[in-house]
Chains A and B, each alone.
Chain A
Amino acid sequence: MNRNYQSYESVTQSILGFAAYARSNELNVGVREAQEALAIASTGLIADKEVFRYALKSVFCSSEENTRVFDQLFESYWGQPKAFVKSRITMKNQSIMQKQMQRSLVLMGKGDSKEAKEEEAKNVSGANAAEQLRKTDFSKLSQIDSEYLEKLAVNLWKQMSRRLKKKLKRSTTKGRIDIRQTIRNSISSGGAMLELKLKHKKPTKNRLVILLDVSGSMDKYSFFLLRFILALRSHFQKIEAFIFSTKLVRITEFLKTRDLDQVLKILGTNTDNWSSGTKIGDCLRTFNDDFCKRALQGRSMTIILSDGLDTGEPELLANELSRIKRRTRKLIWLNPLKGMAGYQPLARGMKAALPEIDVFRSAHSLDSILELENYLADV
């Protein structure tokens, strides 16, 4: 770790040494980059330290994150031994911060620290912290972490809906030959059909119906899941969203404002059932009776986000689910509890629901939500 340019005899060796040092610190530096570093030095740029730093940076880095690491490495390698010590200290500070963040994760684990300990052991660097946060259960986040995770999530979801859009667009470029257009088009080239015109498939509107459980037991998750629903809005032209606990409330209207704080405020004033008990069966019946025909039209997909802890009759739930299933292409149930090790769908409600569900998955962490992309892609 404590390498410095002074430990080599010639300039060439020092430069190659720096390339190896950068490589060992996870910069993407190969033989070609090392050769280029030498080429740069031979053009005379090595005479000015700052200029040399800028030059090497442009060759050794390939993203903004890289550039920050690079500056530290450069200083510690080419700097005076004093500067070297200083940079070590800042690196130490960083790791203290990470440890504190980690501790807050463990604290929020509420005694069930097996998972958290595992995470602690894995914790090494900043990039890893993000990686790990993605795997962390929403219910085990501290305030600071959840802010960070939110930023991360919004970014990833944006990417996801971009990818989904692309998949859809590409699939519409194939079609049958449109003879009429082809002949018409051939007039300009004197009757030779040079370019075939294709009949495009009319792009189908993607419909998605989401039912989010906001009862007390889902408290820790519902905020993030609501965020997720907002993110999906940018991809699906038609999204119908409902929240339920003891009563079902349609929130599609409120989703039109993009600002989450505002959505929450509106929801707070318009609904009186946030964080109360659960009657899934009753709520689904209201859905079937009042909204089903409008919202579900054969091609749509239905997602239910709930932990399945129901206080109503299981038969009613199973019944209503099969009614939904008849009108939807795919019925997906996301259960945050499924992320827990050793979870079995034993709750009465969940047990009754299982036979009707096409896909049963967890939704406890960012990564598990992102996995949903595969199912959303084929809507």
Chain B
Amino acid sequence: MIKEVSAFVNSFDKLGYVVDEELATILYLMTSLQKPLLLEGHPGVGKTEVANILAAHLGTELIRLQCYEGLDIHSAVYEWNYQKQLLSIKIQESNQKTDTEKEKHIFGEDFLMPRPLLKAISGKTKSPVLLIDEIDRADEEFEAFLLELLSAYQISIPEFGTISAKYPPFVILTSNRTRELSDALRRRCLYHWVNYPDFEKELRIVHKHLPDINQKLSAQLVRTIHILRNKNLEKSPGISETLDWAMSLHALGKKELDEESFAMTQGSVLKSYSDTEKIKSAGVANILEGG
């Protein structure tokens, strides 16, 4: 393996995240080419966590922007502090400055409230990690705005001028694929599809988080999770469900997974009524035996 890539793997391992060679390569590329990274995959496979760990690895700040329908520039980029501006106008009423000077004053940096995107490009000492979470939930207009930001790393504010990044951020975008993203955005980014981990890797993840869990229990649990993922459930269990489940079983002091302990803890894996019914009708014993 290439030296830089294995450095990533080791460092992530120390920080408690099991990363495979492929993702490590891409993260290395992302930091060396200064390109945004688009992560797509099922919910709960640890997309957001990648950004957290990357920030810890680089020893820099993580700035997070959670997207939602109707997200606009005011809550994503910047907003003027209107109250403060008004107060300042009142205070300056009696002083002798000209109108242009006053205007310049109230549209100064002191009155600008930076939101995540502006914060991300105004890093003073180091490039931060910018996580734009669930970009598929934002509107298309916002996506178009991002295109501009991601190619030039600069934001123009009409009253103030253009701010360009001295230390461009490392950008990670995540998407759950509820909407197709535009080709233009995809092409600006490196792309990685995050799949459910295989048996070995998931077992390693469980042991990483719960070092003193019973070996037999963890193997049984991960196997069951893999069976459940093939059952076409409404809400397929992700890695976070695996960990939740492992923690619940561990907290209850269980040594192995049987029908009784399954019934006690199923709330941490099966997240809807119809899924619970489906598994019940398929027979819990069957599933535990590998059917």
Do A and B interact with each other, yes or no?
yes
By a beta-carbon cutoff of 8 Å, the part of chain A in contact with chain B is 28, 30, 32-33, 36, 39-40, 43-45, 47-48, 50-51, 54-55, 57-59, 61-64, 66-67, 159, 162, 166, 169, 188-190, 192, 194, 258-259
Task: Write the nearest CB–CB distance from A66 to chain B, whole angstroms.
Answer: 8
Chain B residues near A67 (CB-CB < 8 A): 191, 193
Instruction: Flag whether B125 is at the interface (Cβ < 8 A).
Output: no
Complex Cα gap A322–B25 (Å): 67
Q: Find out whether the CB atom of A58 lies under 8 angstroms from the CB atom of B26.
A: yes
Query: In chain B, residues 177-206, which have Cβ atoms closer than 8 Å to a Cβ of chain A?
Result: 178-179, 183, 186-187, 189-193
Interface size class of B (residues with CB under 8 A): 20 to 34
Query: In chain B, residues 22-79, which have Cβ atoms closer than 8 Å to a Cβ of chain A?
Result: 22, 25-26, 28-29, 32-33, 35, 37-38, 40, 69-70
Complex Cα gap A107–B31 (Å): 55
Knowing that A28-B187, A62-B38 are A-B contacts, what are 15 other residue pairs whose CB atoms are under 8 Å apart, sorted by A's residue number?
A: A30-B187, A32-B187, A36-B35, A39-B33, A43-B29, A54-B25, A58-B37, A61-B193, A63-B193, A66-B191, A67-B193, A169-B70, A189-B82, A190-B90, A258-B274
Pick 7 A–B contacts, CB within 8 A, sort by A.
A33-B187, A54-B21, A55-B26, A62-B189, A63-B193, A188-B83, A189-B86
Q: Find out whether the CB atom of A45 lies under 8 angstroms from the CB atom of B86.
A: no
Instruction: Flag whether B91 is at the interface (Cβ < 8 A).
Output: no
Q: Find out whether the CB atom of A64 lies under 8 angstroms from the CB atom of B187.
A: no
Known A45-B25, A169-B69, A190-B86; judge A63-B1 contact (CB<8 A).
no
Q: Find out whether the CB atom of B83 lies under 8 angstroms from the CB atom of A51.
A: no
Chain A residues near B70 (CB-CB < 8 A): 169
Q: Find out whether the CB atom of A259 lies under 8 angstroms from the CB atom of B190.
A: no
By a beta-carbon cutoff of 8 Å, the part of chain B in contact with chain A is 1-2, 4-5, 21-22, 25-26, 28-29, 32-33, 35, 37-38, 40, 69-70, 82-83, 86, 90, 139, 178-179, 183, 186-187, 189-193, 274
Q: Find out whether the CB atom of A55 lies under 8 angstroms from the CB atom of B187.
A: no
From B86, B90, B139, B191, A58 is in contact (CB under 8 Å) with B191
Q: Find out whether the CB atom of B26 lies under 8 angstroms from the CB atom of A162.
A: no
Task: Write the nearest CB–CB distance from A85 to chain B, whole angstroms.
Answer: 26
Known A55-B29, A162-B179; judge A50-B21 contact (CB<8 A).
yes
> Which A-chain residue is minimally distant from B232 (CB atoms)?
A151
Chain B residues near A259 (CB-CB < 8 A): 274
Q: Find out whether the CB atom of B33 lies under 8 angstroms from the CB atom of A36.
A: yes
> Which B-chain residue is minimally distant from A59 (CB atoms)?
B190
Task: Write the nearest CB–CB distance from B55 to chain A, whole angstroms.
Answer: 20
Complex Cα gap A62–B185 (Å): 10
